[in-house]
Structure 1
Amino acid sequence: MLRPRRPDEHFAAEAAAAREAGWTVALVDHDGLAAGAADAAVARVPAGDGAVYRGWMLGADRYAAMARALAGRGVTLRTGPEQYRRAHELPGWAAQLAGFTPDTTWTSGADRAAFDEARAALGEGPAVLRDWTKSMKHYWDEAVYVPQLGDAAAAWRVASRLRELRGDEFTGGFVLRRFERFTGAEVRTWWVRGECRLVSAHPDSPDELPPAGPDLAAITPVIAGLGLPFVTVDLALRADGVWRVIEVGDGQVSDRPVSTTAEVFVAAVGDRILT
């Protein structure tokens, strides 16, 4: 915000690496996008070309507004608004990944009746809770972990706390996922047009580099079948030795772990993402 002609420090290394690789790099004003001023926010983007957004997370509606503003300048985002929403919001991908990810139910909205219906559909046992885009993992005991789905009052207390903590950023509805026990850190995989281009550590554990696995053979056709141009898929090894999908996200707003250099990242995804 204080240096509007320079990329945010968090993304500066990627901007430099992209320029070095021959990409045209233009700045958008994220604060302006978040505030609903999309036309002004994209005013520095050169007219008439394809583009990939790389920056902080945007709500799906704000992303759509950015896409419209860019289209007015003759610029087409390689990830369209509907594709962004499907990658960014859990209902866009969870059903297709059934069998590879913990059993999941969700609501539209935050009312108690819908929550209880989703809770009952998942059955008994422990679960974890989030909304369509984000959990409050740093509030595990009070806003994430549901020890027993059959305890309606206790489960609703967790849901109410999640709703309170998310505030105006609460998105879509509640998501309940069956609790599974995992070993080791998560792995972040980066996919361009259904092909895994990079396996990295997860940003939350950047020093815990991925093992020789995971074996992606079974999941590759499923990810390709999503039809999404640029996504991340986070995986973790379940206690029984089975790799499980924890999260799918739009690659444009997925964080890069510091243990993966900007140059490696750009080289991995850049030769296909804009072609």
Structure 2
Amino acid sequence: MGVVDHDVRVMLLVPADVLRPRRPDPHFAAEADAARESGVDVALVDHDALARPDGVQRAVARVTGGGEAVYRGWMLTSAQYAAFAGALARRGVVLRTSPQQYRRAHELPEWYPCLKRMTPASVWTTGTDRVAFDEVCALLGGGPAVLRDYTKSMKHYWDDAMFIPEVDDRAAAWAVAARFRELREDDFAGGFVLRRFERLTGAEVRTWWIDGACRLVGPHPDTPGDRPPPDMDVTGLAPLVAALRLPFVTVDLALRADGVWRVVEVGDGQVSDRPEAIAPQALVAALITGGQ
């Protein structure tokens, strides 16, 4: 990852409001305000254009100046992020998180090797081939599993597109995979990922890591009213996250039924949703000072 020089001026990039393109998207307006109040320059990008292969130059047309930038916006695919980074570089702006680092945080096969000790056993395919799917089912072995792709699950379709009661029932497992693929449509990323089912209790906790240090701990955005336990200890996780060598990531954790904290998900911090319990000023301050 290298050492970030925090004396370099940082720019915050946020999506523009679709209806009022000179203003930040309302979802990120509080963070933009907090950045400006802290003396951080804010520039707007056109997310809709960014999501189109031919729109990336238009997406960054209002980004001026140069130096280092951090993005806080809607999720991008790894390919979209790489195009985004390239377009910014041509304008003299370098994203603190490189395209390779974004992929490492964004896609499960990239982050899993560093965190496998604290997350359910996982196997995956490249693509959607049935033969490959049967092969990874055999690798995982019998018992229940949950299904996702490299970047996302379909937890709102738990019974028909996520939970596999018995991996050895290949026909039933494939039916879940086929339904998942149908629902994900063009958003399907990479391949099928099978993860050993573990019974979790309570709400997830979202932790925020900058330069390998945990800077913020709060509820998961899906359960904003469920605060983490005040005595939560993430020191055991720290060397595993540091091994990722990433500048800005989130790690979602949940308690397993036996009382052990387990990693549910890792994400690039730039596109991870911030629950209201995490003040925008706190997040901006952490981004400015890094892992210090």
What is the TM-score with the length of structure 1 in the denominator?
0.97
Of 148, 156, 179, the match for 1:130: 148
Between the aligned partners of 2:117 and 2:167, the Cα distance in structure 1 is 21
Q: Residues 1-275 of structure 1 correspond to what in structure 2 (within 5 A)?
A: 1-36=18-53, 37-272=55-290
Between the aligned partners of 2:287 and 2:214, the Cα distance in structure 1 is 9
Q: Is the 8 A contact 1:129 1:143 kept in 2?
A: yes
Q: Is the 8 A contact 1:129 1:175 kept in 2?
A: yes
Structure 1, residues 67-116: CA drift from partner, whole Å, max 9, x if none?
00000011100000010011001111112211110000011001101111
1:47 match: secondary structure = coil
TM superposition shift of 1:212: 2.1
Supply the AA of the counterpart residue of 1:28: V
Q: Is the 8 A contact 1:28 1:42 kept in 2?
A: yes
- Over aligned residues, Cα RMSD in angstroms? 1.2
TM superposition shift of 1:253: 0.1
TM superposition shift of 1:270: 2.9
Structure 1, residues 220-268: CA drift from partner, whole Å, max 9, x if none?
1111011111000000011101101011100000000122221222223
TM superposition shift of 1:213: 4.0
Q: Is the 8 A contact 1:197 1:269 kept in 2?
A: no
Supply the AA of the counterpart residue of 2:38: A
1:96 match: secondary structure = helix
Q: Is the 8 A contact 1:214 1:243 kept in 2?
A: no
Structure 1, residues 159-215: CA drift from partner, whole Å, max 9, x if none?
000000000000000000000011110000000010000001000000001102432
Between the aligned partners of 2:81 and 2:87, the Cα distance in structure 1 is 10
1:160 match: secondary structure = helix
1:135 match: secondary structure = coil
Structure 1, residues 103-138: CA drift from partner, whole Å, max 9, x if none?
000110011011111111001110000000011110
Between the aligned partners of 2:283 and 2:130, the Cα distance in structure 1 is 43
1:4 match: secondary structure = coil
Provide closer, same or farther for how the CA distance between residues 136 and 240 of structure 1 changes in structure 2, counting only shifts above 3 A: same
Q: Is the 8 A contact 2:210 2:286 kept in 1?
A: no
The unaligned stretches of length 5 or more in structure 2 are: 1-17
Between the aligned partners of 2:115 and 2:232, the Cα distance in structure 1 is 16
Between the aligned partners of 1:184 and 1:211, the Cα distance in structure 2 is 11
Structure 1, residues 33-71: CA drift from partner, whole Å, max 9, x if none?
001211111011113211011100001101000100000
Between the aligned partners of 1:21 and 1:188, the Cα distance in structure 2 is 24
Between the aligned partners of 2:275 and 2:92, the Cα distance in structure 1 is 33
Instruction: Specify the alignment match of 2:9 in structure 1.
Output: none
Instruction: Specify the alignment match of 2:4 in structure 1.
Output: none
1:6 match: secondary structure = coil
Give the fraction of aligned pairs with identical amino acids, expressed as a percent.
65
